[in-house]
Structure formats: C-alpha cells, structure tokens
Amino acid sequence: MRSDLLKEGISRAPHRSLLKALGLTDAEMARPFIGVVCSKSDFIPGHTHLNTIADAVEAGIRNAGGVPFRFDTIGVCDGLAMNHKGMKYSLSSRELIADSVEIMLTAHPLDAVVFIPNCDKIVPGMLMAACRLNLPSIFVSGGPMMPGRDLAGGRIGLSEMFEAVGATAAGKMTECDLHRLEDSACPGCGSCSGMYTANSMNCLTEAIGMALPGNGTIPAVHAARVRLAKATGERVMELLKENIRPSDILTDKAFDNALRADMAIGCSSNTVLHLLAISYAAGRPVSLKHIDDIGKSTPQICKLNPASSVFITDLNDVGGIPSMLKELDKKGLIHRDALTVSGTVGDRMDAAPNADGDIIHFIGSPIRADGGIAVLFGNLAETGAVVKQGAVAPEMMQHTGPARVFESEEAANEAILGGKIKAGDVVVIRYEGPKGGPGMREMLSPTSNIIGMGLGSSVALITDGRFSGATRGASIGHVSPEAAAGGTIALVEEGDTIAIDIPARKLELLVDEEILAARRAAWKAPERELTGYNRRYAQHVTDAATGAVFDDLI
C-alpha cells in the first residue's frame, strides 16, 4: 500500500510515533489510510453542513475497514466575491486547490481519497488533483440548496436576487421589497439552487463517473445526502481493493458522456472552461470544436433555473442524472460501457426510472434540437467564445447592433444602472480575461442588471471574462484571444457594428480588415501593476480556449 511509506519497517518507527501521537493504534496501522479532502469553510452556504457530510464519509470508511485522515482546502464563494476585486481570485483558486491537494497527499502518502467539494472552482480543482495523483478516488458533494421564495410565494434562486438589483435601480421594485426578497432567496445550506456552476459541476462529476448516483441532485438538507456520503466512504474501500483509479474512469468516452450531459441539461458555460482543464489534467485533452460538435448533436431535454422555473431538486425527484442519460441513450448518444466508481454507466441507466416527459423531456420532443451551450467563432473570437444558448431569448439568437465598449465590469455596471444602455446595444466588456483581469471575473452583475432593467430581450453582452451559471440572456463570454493578448476584442471601438448569429455559431466585428490592421498596429496593452498571487497567475495562465490552465499543462 502507498501508505507503507509512512508506517512499514524499522526506519518508519519515528513516523509511527507521530501517528500514534494522533491516537492511532497498532491495529489501525495495519489498515488502509484514506484521505478525506473537504472544502469546509464558514464563508460559503454550500459548506455549512460539510462537516456532517465528512463525518458520514469517515464513518463509511471505518465501516469498511479503513482509517480516514481529513483536511480542508480553500474555497471562494462566487456569490460573495461577485462584482468586486475578490472575483479576480475565484478562477485562480482552482489551480491553488489542485496544487494544495497534490502537496498534501504527496507529502503524506495515503492509499485512496474521498473528495468533498461544493461550489464552483472547488469541484474542478479537486478533479484536477485526482487526475494528477491517480489514486483510487471518489467524490461526494454537499448537494444543492432548496429553492427560495419570491414575494408572491413562487420559487426563486440566487439569480433572481441579482436581477432584483436591476429592477430596483429601474424603479420596478422598492428597496423594502428588495430587503424582503433577500431574506427568502437562499433558505439554507447547499450550493445555490439553480443550474449554476456548482450544481453543474456536481452533476457532471456524476455523469463522468467519479461520483455515485445522486451526487449532483440530492438536496443538501435530505438525509439521503448523508446516506450517500456514508456509502461513498464505504465504496472508496472497494475502489482500493479493485485498484480502480481516475485514469481508468476518465477516458475519452467518459468526457463525451459528461459533455452530452452538459448539453442536455443546459449547464453553466463555466463547465466548458473546467472540462477543458480537467481533460488536460487527465491527459485526454478535448477542444472547443469537439465540444461544439457534441453540442450540435445532443438535444437539450432539461431546462432548469435560471432558464426556467424548474429546479435541480425537481430533477432529483424524477430520477436525476441517470434518468436523463437513459433518455439520451435511446438515440445511442451515451457510451454505456464507460466505467464509473460503481459499475458502468449502462448499469446506472438500467436501474434508473424512465424520463417523466416534463422535467426530463422525451428525446423525440426535446426543448431544443441541439445542446444548451454553443461555441461561436469569427473574427471577434478566432479561437472561440461560449454562450449558454439554452438561456437566450429566441429574438436574441441573431442580433446585430452597435458596440458599447467598456474597459472593466465596474464601468459597464455604472452605465447599465445609469440608463445609458439602450435596446439594440451590444455591451462589450474587455480586459477581464484570464491574463487581463487577471482571473477572468464572472459577470453576473451586469447581465442580471440588463435583465432587471428590462433589456434582456434586446441587449447582448460580449466579454473576454466569463459568466456565472446564474446568468441568462444573450451573454457571450470566454472570447479568445482575449484583449490583453491582443485579440480582436481589444480593437473594438464605440459604435462599431457587431453581428451575433448563435445558430450559425458566428461572432463577427463588421469592420474592414484594413481598418482593423491599422488599429492593431497602434494597439498597446495597458500597463498594470500586479502583486502577489495575481501577478504569478497572469504570468502563467493560458487563454479560455484552453481552459485557463497553467502553461505547463499545454
């Protein structure tokens, strides 16, 4: 066993004495040592209950004859980091999480690992670490939050709370009502209730085979979540006995299954960024073109909040991810033989209920013929841009309008809330990419403000930054090459015409090439004074088209 490096032989007597200082017995020394990597913190609602989840995982490990060792990672709450400098550290935390897990589990060699994430960059950071270490590994998340309530008693998620800010600025809601709404939008623990990035990644971790069924959809507050955690702790011991490792599970077939799931349930556009990064870490790199090809041939059969009034907990009630995959399998879109942490994908689908036809639409009558995410190309995004097309109003699927150019998210927000953006405009926010931000901030505030101001069906937003999974509307992000790298987005001027054609996968700046060449010759990257981790991150991060990973992975 790998943990023998800590405990076997005469030369390890000092090591054993340190372990005995922790309270370990001689009997425990003979058992497998299992890492329990938890992301608990007091900042994040999705983590409030993670000690309970971790306790259940440890109980499962002990039930199956192992000795658990728990440690926590950092984690950023994107909702709390939104719309200020803190968001520059959200995406970059993914790399720190992967690095810290690699450090801890190499410095202290254990035999297998259970990962307990919840929220945004933590899930992909841990998956990247699992790929690097290639120890028998399994995931169990903290699960989704229950929906909140609006002032009329209807169900809402965090996205509606952000949109209420725009509505208040437009005089459509009073500050008193805004305060009442903030008391009820997030009713308790769990990852925010819509198909935002955290829930998207938890669902895809299940679809890709690294978690047990239910990982993505069982509500955080249900006892079934605790039972799932205990079963996960027990299952990791079987993975160790069977010597099943991430490299056995994270194959090309597994990534295709995850991408099919992504497109079918209309996940956050951030999943593109993270699946690219995970695929590099797994040594199975996928491309934006491949992602778009999968999207074109995968029907969207679920439409969840923020794109509708259906929530992820509703999906759980009708069979969750296995039932959704089972419906896709009717057209042969799923690799049934792909291995998971518990049998094959086919085994899971065979045991799942059939689609209900309402929350999981029948594949013969999908919500849309192609997937919820589209990748656009053109002279404004030569290596790609990403849009969550499943949350775009039909009238905005094709749009041509004048550019309204802003050099930061703050400047754009001020203009939107100040009533300076009009119907037909195309808001351009640049120098917010991986290098340019640095950190590729999420743009939930400007997109929500556009919706709240009543402009969601008439204004588009384009950025080299990215969007929260809570974003809806004609919001096109991940524009690559980014402005800081001299991409065409850096050359856009106020009033230029931009043409968006999502069905045709086109994003074009309608300016003569000669004019663009002259602008390019005169362009100079803005000078920035960066310090600390942001400085190191900007030096090493690649562009969004390659997942914003560090350059040593490419």
Catalytic residues: 468
d(CA 129, CA 131): 5
With b for 16 or more beta-carbon neighbours within 10 A and e for fewer, the 64-88 pattern comes to: bebbbbbebbebbbbbebbbeeebb
Up-side HSE of residue 280: CA atoms within 13 Å toward CB? Answer: 22
Please, where are the H alpha helices in 114-196? 122-133, 158-169, 175-182
Q: Is the sign of the CA dihedral 251, 254, 260, 266 positive or negative?
A: negative
* Residue-wise burial string across 338-351, b where 16 or more C-beta atoms lie within 10 A, e elsewhere: bbbbbeebbebbee
Q: Are 508 and 378 in contact (CB under 8 A)?
A: yes
Helix, strand or coil, per DSSP, at residue 359: coil
Q: Which residue in 284, 116, 280 sits closest to 205, CA to CA?
A: 116
Give the span between the Cα atoms of 375 and 362, in whole angstroms: 25
**CA nearest 335: which of 323, 345, 321?**
345
DSSP 218-235: S-TTSHHHHHHHHHHHHH
Say how many C-beta atoms besides its own lie within 10 A of residue 21's C-beta: 8
Strands (E), 208-351: none
For residue 376, give the 3-state DSSP assignment.
strand
